[in-house]
Structure 1
Amino acid sequence: MTHLDNVDSTPAQRWAFLAIISLGLLMVGVDNSILFTALPELRRQLHTSEVQALWIINAYPLVLAGLMLGTGTLGDRIGHRLMFLIGLTTFGVASLAAAFAPGPWFLVAARAALGLGAATMMPATLALVRITFTDERERNTAIGVWGSVAVIGAALGPVLGGLLLEYFWWGSVFLINVPIAAAAILATIVVAPPNMPNPSKHWDLLSSLWALLALSGLVTAIKELANPARTGWLLAGAAVLAVGGAVLFTRRQRLLDDPLLTFDIFRSRIFTGGVLAAAGAMFAVVGLELMTTQRFQLVAGYSPLEAGLLVVSVTIAAFPFSILGGAVLHRVGFQPLIAGGFLAVTLGTGGAAWAGHHETVPLFVAALALIGAGTGAIMSVSSTAIVGAAPVRRAGMAAGVENVSYEFGALLSVAVMGSLLPVLYARQVPGGLDLSGPLDGPAYDMAYLTIVLLLAVVSGVFTLLTAWCFRGNPRSPGAAQ
């Protein structure tokens, strides 16, 4: 087998290569959420504080989101196949380091290295899909599979984490990546098409660093703002860092002949709608999974596996709706799939709040399934909107923006929800949230309920925003430029 990127490749060759790409993408998605069920165990064995626990989770999506614009363009320059292999290798080595981390801050650093590997790998996966599948309908289906793998990875993380913790120590949630990465590396060498670099493509490291600086400042500011014992100088410094990084990044793009991001790309409402959809869907599903797995472990006494299995309905519902979304897009259009998907998420999140408050587990699981169906439909076609609406010459840029949208949604969700819960709890319990001792169950449940209702409101807003972006119900990305 040689060039999968031409029209003479067989369907079997193309779909086999997609399976390999999906294996790497699955690891990236799983590591976004695999720690949700492992956090209580990490707190006990590594003695992490609340701040350390949030940074252990957020270091990964922070580096991932901050560097992905640059790695997408770097992939255009040195070849996406090579970038995929570099990313897999980095991910495997960082997973090994994380599995045997001696302390919390070492684990934060290892998680940041995992983010570097994922940032190198992830834009390459979508770019390789676009190169491999030249037929529009086949490509839409392939991107639907790609989107479903991302959804499944994020939704499978808590279940896999709980299953591993049932039988092994906490480091196993990272160690499992090592043989998978090794197998994917070997399969890529054997199956993937030759690397196709474009040395004329410019890559700017400084732009990536400014973007990472801005996101780091934003996350730190959110965490500190929510801290009842906040430090004024740290909050002010984080805000300056966020604004300064954003300004420096924007100015840098104007000076470059080949920028990482040209903001005129957002003039396409299809492209902008896709970005909003990807970020909004991840914000909702990641926030709900994080809060739900913590609540049922800390208050209801569930084991990590039981808490993970509770949210598995998200995965079960997401997969078929993600595949279906990509397959029927040309018939039904973007608006029913994306705006309708957010409406399902809104209803499902509201139902989860009601069922959780009344301790009705079957209805709670059904509500999670409705959320999974909605996010599955959204994510499959939001990727199509972003990649398809961008000019071909900006394929790497579009892939970077697409991936950043997902990771920024997850990053913001963990930062906001993880910081908001202790604040809401502290309003009812004078001593605040102390996980080393007994919890006030009703107070924790009220904080949890408030957050879930907030997620329902946010999903409702995204329903309206995406309905506007996809007004006229275009059936292909180029239909409403």
Structure 2
Amino acid sequence: MKGGNVNRSNNRWLLLAAVLLAFTPVMIDLTILHIAIPSLTLDLRATGTEVLWILDIYPLIMAGLLVPMGVLTDRLGTRRMLLTGMSIFTAASIWAAFSTSAPMLIAARAALALGSAMMMPPVLAAIRRGFEDERERGIALGLWGTVAAAGAAVGPLIGGILLDYFWWGSVFLINVPIMLLVAPLVYKLVPDDAAPSRAPWPIGQALLLIAGLMTSVYALKSIVKPDQPVVTGLIFMAIGLSLLTVFGRLQLRLKTPMLDLSLFKRPPVRAGLIMALVASGALAGAELTLAQELQFVIRLSPLEAGLFLLPLMAAAAVGGPIGGWLASVIGLKWLACISLGAAAASLGGLAVSDFHAPGADTMVLLAILGLALSVGLTASSIAVMSAISPEKAGSAGSLEATAYDLGSGLGITGFGVMLSAVYARAISMPDGLAPTLASQARTSIGETMIVASSLADAEAASLINAAQDAFSLSHMAVLGAAATLLGSLAVLVFRILRNQPKHITNAGH
């Protein structure tokens, strides 16, 4: 029997199980690596800048490729696109697991992003086309959202368990058996529904967006590097911003843009997209900061660090349904502002918490942060989708998905750069340390630990103590700055939505 020609009516729930199993590693990959950063930093002897590229190249490339891959799914068919993405994702996982250098791992992560971007549109397309009944489709999409949230939530815990028994590459290698198990089911159950499409493939626009993002991010990282002239970073920043400006103008001028930026004219959409960008960035940046604090400073094992972060991720996993219910009770404007204010308050509390002797208050703050940011992201989705007409749903969804991934990538970059800048100023080098080693150690706590591993015991202990003190100060400054940013965002969102009704509709658009 040709794959995909089974009775879809009888097998739609099996189809759902298959595509959700394929989708789960994609979501786990968004968070599992944070807990592995200290281990792979020391093993690959990665610089602070390389660590940031390892983390943020994945969401940045995803942000640029999701829309073009959606168009390609309509052309090539759901099954072919999903199996191709799974194949690339599997091969890239093996490549990443056995990387022997930081640049090799960065390239593997870029390939993982390509595979993920090819998988996400056909997963949603398979659910949409496999469930004709509106009620069943709602249940299926709800399960998809639950799997997405749960996958991201358990990522740090799964990473911690793996790293307690295996090397850091195991966090990538776990993807392989899942993909090999699911591939035959996808071939059997997902329809081969390729159809001619007149929609232009916006790959040129996507590459322009990615080039602008990558150049701007490179510039930002270069500016704070002590061994690189500031003017070099400024030149690259000008190039990156120019590319992004050209991209933005193209989107406003083209008849079929990759991203419909005209939707920004609607206040709820504008507020929702800003929230998606900042809230996802704050969540990713906070996870990165806390994972390093817990392992490098508090000296927890990866599993202990994963368990420590569990309240944050578990609360984030349940925030979606709670946010949807609260929106109907108190209205979008107050839901958005209260959730952002709660996230700001929890970040402020965590900034001054003593992680060496955490109490119940620290766990509560972590849970509030995860819940508030998750509710905030739900509010952003409601704001965007409630303010547009049905025929614009695809454009709005693409814009929102891009904002999520872009926010995660820029959040990692922004938090990482701020951490490096504050850390370099805060660390006090022990007397007698060679200038070249001191310059390397000042760049990031990971590089400090690499330098310490080459020193005698007494000198290494002195350097590690200085690094831990400096990083604790840095994490206080960064979380405090993030709290200020989210608090300011709450005020901005209130101003944008102040004249909007309690329940937003697309009337008049």
Give TM-score scaled by structure 1 length: 0.88
Paired with 1:381 and 1:147, the residues of 2 have a C-alpha distance of 15
Paired with 1:327 and 1:393, the residues of 2 have a C-alpha distance of 25
What displacement does 1:167 show? 0.7
Which residue of 2 is the match for residue 234 of structure 1? 232
What displacement does 1:112 show? 0.4
Structure 1 position 478 matched with structure 2 position 476: no
Paired with 1:464 and 1:77, the residues of 2 have a C-alpha distance of 44
Q: 1:346 to 1:42 in 2, by over 3 A?
A: same
Partner AA of 1:452 in structure 2: L
Q: 1:141 to 1:361 in 2, by over 3 A?
A: farther
Paired with 2:129 and 2:389, the residues of 1 have a C-alpha distance of 14
- Paired residues for 1:181-260 under 5 Å: 181-192=179-190, 195=193, 197-253=195-251, 256-260=254-258
Which residue of 1 is the match for residue 270 of structure 2? 272
- Paired residues for 1:269-308 under 5 Å: 269-308=267-306
Which residue of 2 is the match for residue 448 of structure 1? 475
Determine what percentage of the aligned residue pairs are the same residue.
Answer: 33
Aligned length: 474
Q: Would you say the 8 A contact 1:211–1:249 is kept in 2?
A: yes
Q: 1:25 to 1:349 in 2, by over 3 A?
A: farther
Q: 1:364 aligned to 362, 365, 368, which one?
A: 362
Paired with 1:208 and 1:140, the residues of 2 have a C-alpha distance of 31
Structure 1 position 463 matched with structure 2 position 468: no
- Secondary structure at the aligned position of 1:478 is classed as coil
Q: Which runs of 5+ in 2 are unaligned?
A: 429-437, 453-463
- Paired residues for 1:344-363 under 5 Å: 344-356=342-354, 359-363=357-361
Structure 1 position 75 matched with structure 2 position 103: no
- Residues 351-375 of structure 1: CA distance to partner in whole angstroms, max 9, x if unpaired? 2223237843422111010111112
Q: 1:381 to 1:411 in 2, by over 3 A?
A: same
Partner AA of 1:459 in structure 2: L
Give TM-score scaled by structure 2 length: 0.83
Which residue of 2 is the match for residue 171 of structure 1? 169
Q: Which is further off, 211-220 or 329-338?
A: 329-338
Q: Would you say the 8 A contact 1:318–1:376 is kept in 2?
A: yes
Structure 1 position 435 matched with structure 2 position 449: yes
Which residue of 2 is the match for residue 93 of structure 1? 91
Partner AA of 1:231 in structure 2: P
- Residues 321-354 of structure 1: CA distance to partner in whole angstroms, max 9, x if unpaired? 3123335644554334433322221222122223
Q: Which is further off, 224-233 or 170-179?
A: 224-233
Which residue of 1 is the match for residue 159 of structure 2? 161
Paired with 1:73 and 1:477, the residues of 2 have a C-alpha distance of 28
Q: 2:47 aligned to 22, 46, 49, which one?
A: 49
- Secondary structure at the aligned position of 1:447 is classed as helix
- Residues 422-448 of structure 1: CA distance to partner in whole angstroms, max 9, x if unpaired? 211221225424222224222211111
Q: Would you say the 8 A contact 1:24–1:181 is kept in 2?
A: yes
Q: Would you say the 8 A contact 1:227–1:419 is kept in 2?
A: no
Q: 1:370 to 1:423 in 2, by over 3 A?
A: same
Q: Would you say the 8 A contact 1:69–1:397 is kept in 2?
A: no
What displacement does 1:20 show? 4.2
Which residue of 1 is the match for residue 178 of structure 2? 180
Which residue of 1 is the match for residue 456 of structure 2? none
Paired with 2:372 and 2:21, the residues of 1 have a C-alpha distance of 23
Q: Which is further off, 443-452 or 131-140?
A: 131-140
Q: Would you say the 8 A contact 2:153–2:317 is kept in 1?
A: no
Which residue of 1 is the match for residue 458 of structure 2? none
What displacement does 1:244 show? 2.7
Q: 1:112 aligned to 110, 113, 116, which one?
A: 110
Structure exhibiting the larger radius of gyration computed from Cα positions: 2
Q: 1:224 to 1:369 in 2, by over 3 A?
A: same
Paired with 1:98 and 1:150, the residues of 2 have a C-alpha distance of 22
Q: Would you say the 8 A contact 2:216–2:236 is kept in 1?
A: yes
Paired with 2:370 and 2:336, the residues of 1 have a C-alpha distance of 13
Which residue of 2 is the match for residue 84 of structure 1? 82
Q: 1:254 to 1:457 in 2, by over 3 A?
A: closer
Q: Would you say the 8 A contact 2:58–2:109 is kept in 1?
A: yes
- Secondary structure at the aligned position of 2:46 is classed as coil
Q: Would you say the 8 A contact 2:78–2:191 is kept in 1?
A: no
User: RMSD across aligned C-alpha pairs, in angstroms?
Assistant: 3.0
Which residue of 2 is the match for residue 421 of structure 1? 419
- Paired residues for 1:325-336 under 5 Å: 325-326=323-324, 329-336=327-334
What displacement does 1:298 show? 0.6
Which residue of 2 is the match for residue 322 of structure 1? 320
